[in-house]
């Protein structure tokens, strides 16, 4: 699974936002931010780990999660390219309209 697929689900995006803001957190600390079962959050964390969006480390009995910003590099590159294409089309349209008016 890639980052696009993993981040398509709103709860998983919220997990990433929480970790990006607050840093390293345990699963139970993350779970406190949601009105869903701990099992559901555990599944979301698993998907995010498998997509390499999160890193997990063990500390005694706890699992601590952190956001991996490198994992969204492909999303950033894709959105930049799509925006560049779109704005290029708008610039060509603007030029054609100005030429037509002249």
Reported as a pLDDT band with limits 50, 70 and 90, residue 98 is confident
Report strand pairing: 54-59 vs 62-67. antiparallel
CATH code: domain of residue 26: 1.10.10.10
Query: Domain range for residue 14?
Result: 3-101
Note the pLDDT tens digit of each residue in 17-57. 999 999 999 999 999 999 999 999 999 999 999 999 999 99
Distance from C-alpha of 39 to C-alpha of 45, rounded to nearest angstrom: 10
pLDDT (mean) for 65-92: 87
Count CB atoms within 10 A of the CB of residue 87.
10
> How many domains does the chain fold into?
1
pTM as predicted: 0.77
């Amino acid at each position: 699974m890639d980052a696009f697929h993993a981040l398509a689900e709103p709860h998983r995006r919220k997990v990433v936002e929480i970790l990006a803001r607050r840093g390293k957190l345990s699963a139970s600390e993350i779970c406190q931010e949601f009105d869903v079962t701990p099992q559901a959050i555990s599944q979301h964390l698993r998907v995010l780990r498998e997509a390499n969006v999160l890193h997990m480390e063990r500390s005694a009995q706890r699992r601590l999660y952190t956001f991996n910003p490198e994992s969204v590099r492909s999303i950033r590159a894709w959105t930049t390219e799509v925006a560049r294409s779109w704005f290029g089309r708008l610039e060509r349209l603007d030029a054609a309209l100005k030429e037509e008016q002249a």
